[in-house]
Amino acid sequence: MIAADDRVSARTRIVLAEVVRRESDSEHPRTEHPRTELAEQTRVGEALVRGLVRAQLSLALRLWLVVAVGLGGLPWLFAIAPSVSRITVLGVHLPWVLLGVLSFPFLVLVGWAYVRLAERNEQDFTDLIQRPER
Amino acid sequence: MGNGYVAPAIVAVTLITIGIGFYGLRLARTTSDFLVASRAVSPTWNAAAIGGEYLSAASFLGVAGLILKHGVDVLWYPVGFAAGYLALLLFVAAPLRRSGAFTLPDFCELRLGSRRLRTLATAFVIFIGWLYLVPQLQGAGLTMATLTGSPYPLGALLVAAVVTANVALGGMRAITFVQAFQYWLKLTALAVPAIFLVLQWQADARPAVTPPEGPTFRTATTVVVDHPATLTLPDGQLRQVRPGDELTFAAGQPVPDVAGAATDPADWLLPSTGADEQGLFTTYSLIIATFLGTMGLPHVLARFYTNPDGAAARRSTLVVLALVGAFYLLPTVYGALGRIYTPHLLLTGETDAVVLLLPGAALGAGTTGRLLAALVAAGAFAAFLSTSSGLLTSVAGVISTDVLGRGSVRGFRLATVLAGSVPTVFALNVSGLEVSQVVGLAFAVAASSFCPLLVLGIWWRGLTARGAAVGVLVGGGAAAGAVLVTVLGPPLTGWPAALLAQPAAWTVPLAFTVMVAVSTATRRRVPTDVGTTMLRLHAPEALR
């Protein structure tokens, strides 16, 4: 599902350069233009949206990978190295500590990081669209 | 069982639920109020409501029971139930809210513009909703039977009636307040007794959770057998027991081995090892089902429309993740202490009752023990009421708009009665199913049908209506088939049993593959307005 968007990756920046050039030529008030591009689904607008979707998806996939390795690796680890399961922390076996207690703050932490980074992506996108005239 | 506080506690929870429902009724005026609470609920309230709706009988009773019985391997249930919200946050929350769809079928039509796909999604929403409602009602019946000695159908009917009436009269607006209240009630009802239990355990000089000789009876216990079983006595003798048999054990005597329960301390305490390939497959399959199934549960998604916008949906999902995670710290305490104070449940197989019986067993028949037992019972009822309400609201929502075909308040009420009666009939007639098993199967079906549909629909422009429909049919169909064979079919052993009992590890990849392959083959049918839809799903609120 990522492959489908790959072909735009190289083009995005060139198109954005066009946006800036064209708009500095234009006599219209600045902020209206890119929004219209977005709404009217011109090639420029579409490329902008594709860029945002790609950024958000790759962010989500990267953080998902963190969880897949961090939690998903545990059954495999316990299976190939049973001695790990026998380690005790304050009298409690490690698998119980990891799964029963630490997994929950870990998930919240990843979620918190995602919300921050996703909002930053959106802020960057908004700034790009509403950039004041130079 | 002679605890005079239990019945009043259950009645109080039920009355408060109805009371808040009527308070909400005064505010509910339009169809939009009914279905999505007018989208005017604050993020914190909404997060508590989502959490309250999500923590079902399986979470409140089932998880602790599973831990008591199987030990560390089933800790993946609570971890997966919480991680499901992370998947939802990462891949679905904000875009789904921005799509402006009311229900899953709405999303299908909005994204792919196909009425037939909409109908298919409707069928799956109803199937998953009912599959999830039956164990809730069963749990209610078992709780009432365990605590008050009432006949099994009474609890199931009571919850079904209260929930149906409340949803039909108040809709989701009322439900939002009810659910938020019930989250906090459920958390309190597990947390307060847990503190007392741990203190009692300290006072008892911290008896070992896993003594080397296996679980033992702390007090003289008489066990009445409900199901036929084969026991392995400590001296190695086998003994067949039949329903109605009474077994008496003296204090300090070890609990006999029962086929199916992990009585060997090492099995319970340590994860399955590499030698057990089926065990490892089952664990990973469970992880996939719970991590990816949450986003496909109809009642979970319905909640997202009550957020004002995409950014708020993301933030309230994060709060939900924290609330749900905090809750899931508690069942482990009950499961572990249950090994010490209620080992007879291993013998009777009624491990789902551990949360209900543990306060009385550990703290004795004094006022504290009885009050805490009543609190736990109230929490259990809150769990049945809230999850059933949410499920019923979503199932009734799709029935009223997609099956009855009218969006009126009256149609919604009719649909609620319809949606509530079918699972009630099932719950009254099928009492042999395990609560957590059925819930796990509902997750597997959701992960194999709606998860690929949502993830690909939100992130991949190339999805076509035909690809989505074939993927849902093949993946969801395979999972649903596995469910039916597991529940109704002959008992299986070895790999076929593992593949069918936890199907997600093969049905989820199957659904994704089929969806992508068929969409690619029907590339020319990609909706022409896909660019506009993508903009709508992903553009930040500041640009609207």
- Domain chopping of chain B, boundaries: 6-216+254-543
Would you state the pLDDT for residue B213?
Answer: 66
CA-to-CA distance for B6 and B372, rounded, in angstroms?
9
Would you state the pLDDT for residue B1?
Answer: 46
**Do residues B396 and B175 lie in contact, with contact meaning Cβ atoms separated by under 8 Å?**
no
Quote the tokens at residue A45: 């607008």
Query: B269: which chain A residues are within 8 Å (Cβ-Cβ)?
Result: 93, 96
CB–CB contacts below 8 A, A to B: 143
Quote the tokens at residue B180: 């938020």
The secondary structure of residue B249, as a DSSP letter, is E
Quote the tokens at residue B100: 């402006």
The secondary structure of residue A100, as a DSSP letter, is I
Distance from CA of A60 to the nearest CA of B (A): 5
Sequence-distant (≥ 6) Cβ neighbours of residue B273 within 8 angstroms: A78, A79, A82
Would you state the pLDDT for residue B518?
Answer: 92
Query: B284: which chain A residues are within 8 Å (Cβ-Cβ)?
Result: 72, 75
Query: B534: which chain A residues are within 8 Å (Cβ-Cβ)?
Result: 49-50, 53
Q: Is the pTM value of this prediction over 0.80?
A: yes
pLDDT by position in tens, chain B (length 544): 456 787 788 788 878 777 776 666 555 555 555 445 545 567 777 888 888 888 887 788 888 888 888 888 889 999 999 999 999 999 998 898 888 887 888 888 888 888 889 989 999 999 899 888 888 888 888 888 877 777 878 888 888 888 888 788 765 555 677 778 888 888 998 888 888 888 888 887 777 777 766 677 777 777 777 666 677 766 667 777 777 777 777 777 777 766 655 556 677 777 776 567 777 888 898 899 999 998 888 888 777 777 778 888 898 899 999 999 999 999 999 988 888 888 877 777 777 788 888 888 888 777 888 888 888 888 888 888 888 888 888 888 888 887 777 667 778 888 888 888 888 888 887 656 667 777 888 899 999 999 999 999 999 988 998 999 999 999 999 998 988 887 777 777 778 777 887 888 899 999 999 999 998 888 888 888 888 888 888 888 777 6
Give the 3-state DSSP-derived string for B336-400, with helices as H, strands as E and coil as C.
HHHHHHCCHHHHHCCHHHHHHHHHHHHHCCCHHHHHHHHHHHHHHHHHHHHHHHHHHHHHHHHHH
* Residue B471 Cα distances to B117, B476, B478, B483, angstroms: 11, 8, 10, 18
Residue A132 main-chain phi, psi, to 5 deg: -70, 155
Closest CB to A125: pick one of B322, B326, B540.
B540
Distance from CA of A25 to the nearest CA of B (A): 23
Query: A1: which chain B residues are within 8 Å (Cβ-Cβ)?
Result: 455-456, 459-460, 462, 516
**Are A46 and B321 in contact (CB < 8 Å)?**
no
Would you state the pLDDT for residue A26?
Answer: 44
CA-to-CA distance for B340 and B361, rounded, in angstroms?
10
**Are A63 and B90 in contact (CB < 8 Å)?**
yes
Would you state the pLDDT for residue B235?
Answer: 65
**Are A79 and B271 in contact (CB < 8 Å)?**
yes
CA-to-CA distance for B483 and B487, rounded, in angstroms?
6
How do the domains of chain A map onto residue ranges? 3-129
Sequence-distant (≥ 6) Cβ neighbours of residue A65 within 8 angstroms: none
Would you state the pLDDT for residue A123?
Answer: 86
Closest CB to B72: pick one of A95, A115, A125.
A95
**Are A119 and B311 in contact (CB < 8 Å)?**
yes
The secondary structure of residue B254, as a DSSP letter, is B
Query: A66: which chain B residues are within 8 Å (Cβ-Cβ)?
Result: none
Residue B72 main-chain phi, psi, to 5 deg: -65, -30
Cα–Cα nearest to B34, from B403, B411, B386, B424: B411
CA-to-CA distance for B293 and B282, rounded, in angstroms?
16
Q: What residue type is assigned to position B502 of the chain?
A: Q
Q: What residue type is assigned to position B183 of the chain?
A: Y
Closest CB to B90: pick one of A49, A85, A114.
A114
Angle at the Cα of A102 from the Cα atoms of A96 and A106, rounded to 5 degrees: 145
Instruction: Give the SS3 label for residue B258.
Output: strand
**Interface probe with B: pick from A38, A104, A114, A126, most Cβ of B within 10 Å:** A104
**Percentages helix, strand, coil for chain A, rounded to the nearest 5?**
80, 5, 20
Instruction: Give the SS3 label for residue B248.
Output: strand
CA-to-CA distance for B62 and B355, rounded, in angstroms?
9
**Are A72 and B287 in contact (CB < 8 Å)?**
yes
| CATH 3.40.50.300, domain B6-216+254-543, yes or no | no
* Residue B309 Cα distances to B45, B313, B469, B541, angstroms: 15, 6, 29, 7
Distance from CA of B251 to the nearest CA of A (A): 26
Question: Side-chain half-sphere of A108: how many Cα atoms within 13 Å?
Answer: 14
Residue B122 main-chain phi, psi, to 5 deg: -60, -45
Q: At what angle do helices B277-293 and B494-501 cross, to 10 degrees?
A: 10
The chain B residue lying nearest A87, using CA atoms, is B270
Q: Please determine, for the modelled complex, whether the ipTM score is greater than 0.90.
A: no
**Are A64 and B314 in contact (CB < 8 Å)?**
no
**Are A82 and B273 in contact (CB < 8 Å)?**
yes
Cα–Cα nearest to A56, from B122, B538, B8: B538
Q: A96-127 burial, b if ≥16 CB within 10 A, otherwise e? A: bebbbbebbebbbebbeebbebbeebbeebbe
- In percent, the amount of chain A with pLDDT more than 90 equals 22
Distance from CA of B532 to the nearest CA of A (A): 7
Residue A72 main-chain phi, psi, to 5 deg: -65, -25
Query: A126: which chain B residues are within 8 Å (Cβ-Cβ)?
Result: 540, 542-543
Quote the tokens at residue B69: 């019985």
CA-to-CA distance for B101 and B33, rounded, in angstroms?
15
What DSSP string runs through B22-90?
HHHHHH--SHHHHHHGGG---HHHHHHHHHHHH--HIIIIIHHHHHHHHGGGGGHHHHHHHHHHHHHHH
The chain B residue lying nearest A59, using CA atoms, is B90
**Which range, of A14-23, A75-84, B305-314, B505-514, averages the lowest pLDDT?**
A14-23
**Do residues B141 and B153 lie in contact, with contact meaning Cβ atoms separated by under 8 Å?**
yes
Q: What residue type is assigned to position B176 of the chain?
A: T
Instruction: Give the SS3 label for residue B502.
Output: coil
CA-to-CA distance for B142 and B145, rounded, in angstroms?
5
Sequence-distant (≥ 6) Cβ neighbours of residue B377 within 8 angstroms: B6, B9, B10, B143, B147, B356
Q: What is the dihedral of CA B39, B383, B61, B230, to 10 degrees?
A: -110
Q: Tell me the mean pLDDT in the region A43-53.
A: 79
Would you state the pLDDT for residue A1?
Answer: 42
Query: A49: which chain B residues are within 8 Å (Cβ-Cβ)?
Result: 531, 534-535, 538-539
Would you state the pLDDT for residue B234?
Answer: 64
Give the 3-state DSSP-derived string for A11-35, with helices as H, strands as E and coil as C.
HHHHHHHHHHHHHHHCCCCCCHHHH
**Are B538 and A52 in contact (CB < 8 Å)?**
yes
Sign of CA dihedral B331, B335, B341, B343: positive
Query: B273: which chain A residues are within 8 Å (Cβ-Cβ)?
Result: 78-79, 82
Q: Between B150 and A21, whose confidence is greater? A: B150
Instruction: Give the SS3 label for residue A88.
Output: strand
CA-to-CA distance for B119 and B102, rounded, in angstroms?
15
* Confidence check: pLDDT of A24 > 50: no
Write A9-16 long-range contacts (CB < 8 A, 24+): A9/A54, A11/A47, A12/A47, A12/A48, A12/A50, A12/A51, A15/A43, A15/A44, A15/A47, A15/A48, A16/A47, A16/A48, A16/A128
Q: Is B372 exposed, middle or buried (0-12, 13-18, 19+ CB in 10 A)?
A: buried
Sequence-distant (≥ 6) Cβ neighbours of residue B77 within 8 angstroms: B58, B62, B63, B66, B286, B290, B436, B440
